Amino acid sequence: MSVAIDVLLWAAAFGIVLATIAYSLGQAPAQLNAFPQADKVFHTAAYAAMALLWLLAAVWRPGRGPGVIAGDAVAVVICAILLGATIEVAQHFVDRSADVVDALADAAGATIGYLVWVGLRTIARATPRD
């Protein structure tokens, strides 16, 4: 079961990066204008999910413990933030608008994903095992 969970986490981690790149460099989805600041909410949620998935897959997850890059949680978050900034620059070249506030929302999302991950680790460490 543990191997299946890891496979699913890795597939989701790579999948969310590919989906983020595709949605960010392709035609903007209509949902980005569903309500005021919807695009910022979407950026924040997407990068929170991305950072969390990568942290769980690569660094640590409940039930497995350390991953392939244990101890590099901050590097994962920095990579997510850099990806967001790079995509914003790339949008300038594909008829999308580059927006510093979108990059800030990406960074906020990656930070939220990290904080959720830290919370999961804290809970797991505090929970006695049978």
SS3 per residue for the chain: CHHHHHHHHHHHHHHHHHHHHHHHHCCCCHHHHCCCCHHHHHHHHHHHHHHHHHHHHHHEECCCEECCCCCCHHHHHHHHHHHHHHHHHHHCCCCCCCCHHHHHHHHHHHHHHHHHHHHHHHHHHHCCCC
Mean pLDDT of the chain: 94
Model pLDDT for residues 57-90, shown as the tens digit of each residue = 999 999 999 999 999 999 999 999 999 999 999 9
- Residue ranges of the domains in the chain? 2-126
pLDDT digits (tens, 9 = 90+) for 97-122: 899 999 999 999 999 999 999 999 99
What's the predicted TM-score (pTM) here? 0.93
User: Does the pLDDT of residue 130 top 90, yes or no?
Assistant: no
